[in-house]
Amino acid sequence: MSKFTITIPASSANIGPGFDSFGLSLGLYLRLTVEEQDTWEVKQLSNLLPAFDSYENHFIYMIAEETANHFNKQLPACKLTIESSIPLARGLGSSASAVIAGIELANQLSHLDLSISEKLQLATAKEGHPDNVAASIIGGFVVTAYTENETIHYCKLDSLDMDMVTFIPNVELKTTASRNVLPEQYSRKQAAIASSISNLFIAALINKQYDLAGEMMEKDLFHEPYRSSIIPNYLAIKQKAKQFGAYGTVISGAGPTMIAFVPSGSGEQIVGKMQELFPSYLIQKLEVDNDGVQVSTNKEVAE
């Protein structure tokens, strides 16, 4: 009977103007230790994980079972031990990480041999948008283009020479609730302006013109104007972070967390200053995870 570990990073999404398209993989992790055995058993070691009553109702098990069935395969029983440092419903991709956990679990246990593209397709069908899942599968900053019922195209950017600071409030905001405040339609003029901001943001990032990227990041017209009123301290965090040297600060995913891109080497200092002003927040400098989902035998896993 084999034993292995699946590690999935957290993610931020949108990064301002890249609504449902840009994803950034971050160094908080959901980790499953998997031991094949004759019966199912699920053990959770972290208080950040949602409660469950039986393994059949566990979200990760359900995704794994569904994925195996999709390929007409059986899902062998195992003991799952789950740990997580990704807070729930905060805009850091917790649901995307759980979806990927289920898909990768089926991939390993049922020997599906899924490609990155297939994982991305399956995970997007579950999440409804590809941004978080792409980042957590692939790692780094990933740009996706998704037209329903078509292959998802993606491109991973080279490493960003910046620090990332996240501002996590002590309240949840479900993605569904945060999507409900968005308009159904945009005029051609609005869409053209919003796209031009997004285009220039990406061009500036690639050119390492980080001041310009930060300026464009904060000019989103697709979602931030509609969500700003449901994000605690939206303006205050943006303004103070800018004052302390951030290039730009935006809502992380659907919120309520915010994320700042700051000059390389200044992350810790900005964390210190912002923590004094927002003491109820968990403010952290997070590493970008460049590897995405990882599977390793236990010998290879760092304790």
Ligand X SMILES: N[C@@H](CCO)C(=O)O
Ligand Y SMILES: Nc1ncnc2c1ncn2[C@@H]1O[C@H](COP(=O)(O)OP(=O)(O)OP(=O)(O)O)[C@@H](O)[C@H]1O
Q: Name the residue type at position 301.
A: V
Q: Which of 20, 65, 104, 224 binds ligand X (CB under 6 A)?
A: 20
Chain residues 79-108 in contact with ligand Y, contact rule CB under 6 A: 84, 88-96, 98
Report what 14 binds from ligand Y, ligand X, none; CB cut-off 5-8 Å by kind.
Answer: ligand X
Range in contact with ligand X (rule: CB under 6 A) among 31-39, 172-180, 188-196, 290-298 = 172-180
Contact 142, 134 (CB under 8 A): yes
Token look-up 């579950």 returns 126
Residue 292 near ligand Y by CB under 6 A = no
DSSP lists the bridge partners of residue 168 as 282
For ligand X, how many residues bind (rule: CB under 6 A)?
Answer: 13
User: Which 3 state secondary structure label does DSSP give 221?
Assistant: coil
Residue 9 near ligand X by CB under 6 A = no
**Per-position DSSP letters for 118-178, written without gaps between them:** HHHHHHHHHHSSSHHHHHHHH-SEEEEE--TTSPPEEEEPPPPSEEEEEEE-SS---HHHH
Residue 87 near ligand X by CB under 6 A = no
Distance between CA atoms of 147 and 169, rounded to whole angstroms?
33
State the minimum distance, in angstroms, from the CB of residue 176 to ligand X: 9
Element (H, E) at 30: strand 22-36
State the minimum distance, in angstroms, from the CB of residue 301 to ligand Y: 18
263 is in an annotated binding site: no
Please give the residue whose beta carbon sits closest to ligand X in the complex. 253
Distance between CA atoms of 6 and 25, rounded to whole angstroms?
16
Residue 142 near ligand Y by CB under 6 A = no
Residue 175 near ligand X by CB under 6 A = yes
Report what 90 binds from ligand X, ligand Y, none; CB cut-off 5-8 Å by kind.
Answer: ligand Y
Residue 179 near ligand X by CB under 6 A = yes
**Per-position DSSP letters for 52-91, written without gaps between them:** -SSGGG-HHHHHHHHHHHHTT-----EEEEEEE-SPTTSS
Element (H, E) at 103: helix 94-109
State the minimum distance, in angstroms, from the CB of residue 203 to ligand Y: 25
Residue 254 near ligand Y by CB under 6 A = yes
97 is in an annotated binding site: yes
Chain residues 152-191 in contact with ligand Y, contact rule CB under 6 A: 174-175
254 is in an annotated binding site: no
Residues that bind ligand Y (CB under 6 A): 13, 30, 49-50, 59-60, 84, 88-96, 98, 132, 174-175, 253-254
Sequence ranges of the binding site = 87-97
